Homo-oligomer: A and B are copies of this chain.
Amino acid sequence: MNSIFHALGDGTRRQMLRDLASGERTVSELAKPFAMSLAAASKHIRVLEGAGLIRREVRGRTHVCRLEPGPLASAHEWLGFYERFWTDRLDILDRLLREDDARDATRETRKGDDQ
């Protein structure tokens, strides 16, 4: 889990995963959008590979990368444990907004009565 979250803690690597969500990419295709050397991009790719987030396949002279969703699912599940915390907050926010709406509606009715 350390290596998964560590790999995700970098904007370049997260963007690479987003690109791979649309399909396979060669190493140079993955590196292209970034203003960095191929060596620097390769280093990021190796971190993603080390965390099991992507799989690299050698096809002749090109290295083709594919997304491996398993570790993303594990991280998602780990975070899901805390879901009740933000759902509870949203419930409270929702209730407050409803109460506010109800108050406004009462005020509008009274204004109507005055006219």
- Contact surface of A with B, Cβ cutoff 8 Å: 1-6, 8-11, 14, 17-18, 21, 67, 69-70, 72-73, 75-76, 78-83, 85-86, 89
Contacts and interface: CB of A to CB of B under 8 A. Distances in A.
A51 B81 CA distance: 19
A69 B79 CA distance: 10
A14 B78 CA distance: 10
Given A1-B11, A2-B9, A5-B9, A76 B72 contact: no
A76 B73 contact: no
Given A5-B9, A8-B9, 4 more contacts: A69-B82, A69-B86, A69-B89, A76-B83
Copies per assembly: 2
Contacts of A89: 69
Contact of A6 (B4, B9, B73): B9
B76 A82 contact: yes
A12 to B, nearest CB: 10
5 contacts: A3-B9, A8-B9, A70-B86, A75-B75, A76-B82
Given A1-B14, A2-B10, A5-B8, A21 B85 contact: yes
